Amino acid sequence: MHFQCFGWFLFFIYFITLTEPIGTDKDGNEINFNDILGSDPDAILDDIHLKMQVKSLYNAISHILTKREQLIIMKRYGISGEEPLTQRELAKELGISRSYVSRIEKKAVGKLRDYLKP
């Protein structure tokens, strides 16, 4: 993946920041951001990793897919925040056949899979 190295760098920096001591409590014990946040560090790191993957997906959609492929993927899976559409609904909206929507979708998903492959 093209942005994987930079993403892991940010992931590492964020992890270091969360575990870096920021002071002491009233008993003299070191405290860090994890202590203040009150969250499980693994859950936080999982959330960061998921957000990095979603950002990579959006980047891939906008850079490697044609405008028509972008439209079909965004509407088909509800990525733009709308309700996902069936192939039939999408075909009707675009004025093309359901099988053509299916072919475009399959090609676009293949491009995304190849681009995002680790």
pLDDT tens digits along 13-46: 445 566 677 777 788 888 776 676 666 666 767 7
Mean pLDDT, residues 40-58 taken together: 78
Residue 76 clears pLDDT 50, i.e. is over it: yes
The dihedral formed by the CA atoms of 17, 19, 21 and 22, expressed in degrees to the nearest 10: 50
Give the predicted TM-score (pTM) of the model: 0.62
Strand partners, 76: none
Q: Taking every pair of C-alpha atoms in the chain, what is the biggest distance, in angstroms?
A: 70
Please report, rounded to a whole number, the percentage of residues in the chain having pLDDT higher than 90: 43
Phi then psi dihedrals of residue 21, to 5 deg: -60, 140
Residue 7 clears pLDDT 60, i.e. is over it: no
Mean pLDDT, residues 45-64 taken together: 85
Computed over every residue of the chain, the mean pLDDT equals: 81
The per-type count for the chain, helices as H runs and strands as E runs, is: 6, 2
